[in-house]
Amino acid sequence: MQFHAFWLTALAVCSVISMAQAHDADGLQDGFVPFSGSKKSQVGYTIQPSLQLGGFGEGPDQLGGADTVEVDHRGNVYVVDDVQRQIKVWKYRTRNGQVHEIVGSGDVEAAGLGPLGEIRGIAINRNGRGKNGRDTLYILDRDKNRDPELRILLRRAQDDDDEDEDDEDARWSQLAFTDFQKTPNDLAIDRWGRIIVAEKKGIIEVLSPDGSAHDTNFANAGVLKVDEYGGIETDDFKAVDIDHQGNIYVSDKDVGRMLAISPEGVVVQSFGSQGPGHDQFLEQVEGIALDWRGNVYGRDESGDRILAFAPDGSFLAAFGERGFDPHQQENADEFTIDVRRKRFIWADNNNYRVSVHQMRHRRRVRSRIFTQYDFPEAPVVEPVWIAGGTQGSAPGNEFNEPNELGFDSNGRLWAGDVFNYRVQIFEADGTFVATVGGEGNGPCQFAVPGSGKFGAEAIRDGGAHQMFVVDRGGQKINVYDSNDLSCLRQITSPLLEDPTGLAIDSAGDLYVADQATDLIHHFTNDGTFVRTFQADAGGQSILAKTETLALDEGRNRLFASSENESRVEVFELSSGTYLGEHVGERQVGVISQDGRFADDVEGIAADLTNEWLLMSDEDNGRFVISDLSSAGLFDDDENYAFLGAFGVIGNAPGEFLSADGVAVSESQGLVAIADQGNYRIQVFQVADIRAALGLP
């Protein structure tokens, strides 16, 4: 991944130093957030970390990402590095920050179980119940290349008195049961050794301790399908944890709440709700964990904080702060609680580290920081103007998740503002004009669904002074007059379940990407259905979480981002036939590579004047440019006609924190980018991008 010198300076200021220089620091950020309990046994969160591990790089003690974290009964910390596809283990009382063990594809392949691909969750049997014993590591690998497609791997722990056990292969096995109802997201092990699997579509499956079959004592023959609870439909069970009595707790991701389920499979309680309140999840809830008193914790993804609730469901506190300093977190979706040692442990993904915080008040906290960052330099282009930069709702000055962008025929920039349910409009020089939309179900407003995603998505100029904006939550497309900003009409279709991407050809026809089905639908300008593009090839879905579309009409091509596959797929525009080609692929290792992506590909746009295909490399904080006219556009040996990339992760001008949507004004020579994590829009001159990349 590429980073600017800003990062090196900032990290140095924050006392983030090399692992060879262990540092004890006091007062990095004083404070203790109390939750519950008496003064002598108070439960809370110490803001200053007591330990930090990792740092960006390819070294054995560094991380390319920190996606998931677990702890065993000894207090050792297990971290999933989803970029390097490894699990790194640090000893509880590490004195130098060095990794104790790396579990990687080589270990699994040597046992005849194939390489690790998409590690979605890990669990550890801490209590020793069940066939596989204490500290057995369970790995949920959802890689599509596996056969069968979904698989759980197990690795038995070494005997305490046999640290030098040679027969590593014998410790590995494959879960016999693979016939899951839906896509599994996470897993946990309960007090009886049963394997609990949380899945999409509100499903919980409970397997017997040996993993051979469902536990028929749970719900409906081992499967619980929760359609609704409390009058609210369930959605995606993202994370799962277990209390000491065997109750199951899941995060109902897109609904913004957590549910408690009895050991027999009955939903008994909910925690939290979705909304703007201090005690609510702004949109999604990701990770979940319980402490030793039964308090329930969930991560508010959009608010970048943790909400804590008492066992009776009452709100206790919120904590966590977005940023890069040692006491802050950035995209820390997953966390765990070490109940024996009273520690809160973050997987701080975009800071490439693990942070450990005490949950009992101490008069003095000593921070031991063992992080090392190896960030290469990258070209940064100075924007001609910036709008926003602060999270909020003030028109023209603030955004609450800027997302997709589009230029109208007047040269003005339309910028989606998701959580404010609006689109903000700016002149080409950055002067604020007005907003359109608003929250509600009125004409051309943005609907608030009971669950799922919402807000303004793709924005495209449709000619004849019409601007088309996807209303994701309303499952429709709003059409505005780009002159007087009035609502012209709304386009609806039963095919639009979760619309995201939009492209419009020269005849005014619409092409809509739907993320619920990963399909692309073709409509005429008035919304009449024409066709659905080819959906699969060789029995596999072509798209995986499609987000945005771009057209190259002269070559009869439509480009569609496939976020989960880290590439852009290509279709024949006129027929909807998949061409069997793609641009880009997932990079190998953690350092950014030409024509490749660290993970998510979000916004894409075609600049036909310059023959550019611009693609967001979100996790590397940059935009990649490929040559649309090159014969090597689909050739990995030619690095997919890579011309260059600009941008780095950071918050200075020209830097990005979750680079998302992109729009091009060919007539004005402008490129606009939604800098989502910095709550702003940055606009660049094409000429400045050319100069920075050394392009003619």
Mean pLDDT for 296-314 is 91
Last residue of a domain, one of 305, 338, 371: 371
Mean pLDDT for 84-101 is 93
Asked whether residue 118 is assigned to any structural domain, the reply reads: yes
**Residues 327 and 415 both lie in one domain:** no
**Rounded Cα distance, 586 and 582, in Å:** 12
Q: Where are the alpha helices (DSSP H) in 96-221?
A: 105-110
Q: Which is more confidently placed, 592 or 580? A: 580
Question: 431 Cβ partners below 8 Å, 6+ apart?
Answer: none
Res 142: pLDDT:
82
| Whether the predicted pLDDT of 536 surpasses 50 | yes
Angle formed at CA 677 by CA 672 and CA 682, multiple of 5 degrees:
20
| Whether the predicted pLDDT of 4 surpasses 60 | no
> 453 is written with which tokens?
């995603």
Q: Which helix (H) or strand (E) holds 435?
A: strand 432-437
Cis peptide before 443 (omega within 30 of 0): no
Mean pLDDT for 185-190 is 94
The CATH number covering residue 461 comes to 2.40.10.500
Asked whether residue 693 is assigned to any structural domain, the reply reads: no
Asked whether residue 97 is assigned to any structural domain, the reply reads: yes
**Residues 281 and 398 both lie in one domain:** no
**Residues 439 and 301 both lie in one domain:** no
Query: pTM of the prediction?
Result: 0.74
> 153 is written with which tokens?
């791997």
How many Cα atoms are found within 13 Å in the side-chain-facing hemisphere of 40?
0
The residue length of the chain stands at: 696
> 674 is written with which tokens?
């939604």
Is residue 112 a contact partner of residue 71, using CB atoms and an 8 Å limit? no
Q: Binning pLDDT at 50, 70 and 90, where does residue 17 land? A: very low
Res 40: pLDDT:
67
Q: Binning pLDDT at 50, 70 and 90, where does residue 25 land? A: very low
| Whether the predicted pLDDT of 224 surpasses 80 | yes
**Residues 83 and 223 both lie in one domain:** yes
Q: How many domains does the chain contain in total?
A: 2
Asked whether residue 538 is assigned to any structural domain, the reply reads: no
Asked whether residue 521 is assigned to any structural domain, the reply reads: no
* pLDDT tens per residue across span 490-519: 999 999 999 999 999 999 999 999 999 999
**Residues 236 and 89 both lie in one domain:** yes
Res 35: pLDDT:
85
**Rounded Cα distance, 294 and 345, in Å:** 17
Asked whether residue 512 is assigned to any structural domain, the reply reads: no
The CATH number covering residue 287 comes to 2.120.10.30
Q: Where are the alpha helices (DSSP H) in 275-424?
A: none
Give the full edge-to-edge strand order of the sheet including 136-141: 119-125, 136-141, 151-155, 172-174
In our burial notation (b when 16+ CB lie closer than 10 A, e otherwise), range 544-581 reads: bebbbbbbbeeeebbbbbbbbbbbbbbbebeebebeee
**Residues 365 and 394 both lie in one domain:** no
Question: 478 Cβ partners below 8 Å, 6+ apart?
Answer: 437, 444, 445, 446, 468, 469, 470, 471, 487, 490
**Rounded Cα distance, 183 and 41, in Å:** 41
Question: 218 Cβ partners below 8 Å, 6+ apart?
Answer: 194, 206, 224, 263, 264, 265
| Whether the predicted pLDDT of 128 surpasses 70 | no
**Residues 287 and 152 both lie in one domain:** yes
Q: Binning pLDDT at 50, 70 and 90, where does residue 131 land? A: low
Phi, psi (5° rounding) for residue 10? -60, -40
**Residues 73 and 200 both lie in one domain:** yes
Asked whether residue 509 is assigned to any structural domain, the reply reads: no
Distances (CA, A) of 48 to 110, 319, 532, 662: 41, 12, 53, 37
**Residues 130 and 218 both lie in one domain:** yes
Give the structural domain span for 420. 389-491
Mapped to the 3 state alphabet, what secondary structure does 45-91 carry?
EECCCCEEEECECCCCCCECCCCEEEECCCCCEEEEECCCCEEEEEC
**Residues 302 and 442 both lie in one domain:** no
In which region does residue 427 sit, left (phi positive, over 0), alpha (psi from -120 to 50) or beta (all else)? Answer: beta
Res 29: pLDDT:
46
| Whether the predicted pLDDT of 695 surpasses 90 | yes
Paired residues of 337 in beta bridges: 344
**Rounded Cα distance, 430 and 653, in Å:** 15
Res 118: pLDDT:
84
Asked whether residue 337 is assigned to any structural domain, the reply reads: yes
Paired residues of 642 in beta bridges: 626
**Long-range CB contacts for residues 102-111, cutoff 8 Å, separation at least 24:** 102/60, 103/137, 103/155, 107/155, 107/168, 107/172, 108/153, 108/172, 110/168, 110/169, 111/168, 111/169, 111/171, 111/172, 111/173
Q: Which is more confidently placed, 452 or 355? A: 355
* pLDDT tens per residue across span 541-589: 999 999 999 999 999 999 999 998 999 999 999 999 999 999 999 988 7
Last residue of a domain, one of 327, 343, 371: 371
* pLDDT tens per residue across span 669-694: 999 999 998 999 999 999 999 999 99
Res 147: pLDDT:
60
**Residues 345 and 223 both lie in one domain:** yes
| Whether the predicted pLDDT of 460 surpasses 90 | yes
Instruction: Give the residue from 166, 156, 118 showing the smallest Cα distance to 140.
Output: 118
Torsion on CA atoms 317, 322, 325, 327, rounded to nearest 10? 10
**Rounded Cα distance, 448 and 439, in Å:** 7
**Residues 270 and 302 both lie in one domain:** yes
| Whether the predicted pLDDT of 164 surpasses 60 | no
Give the whole-number percent of the chain exceeding pLDDT 70.
91
Last residue of a domain, one of 314, 341, 371: 371
| Whether the predicted pLDDT of 168 surpasses 70 | no
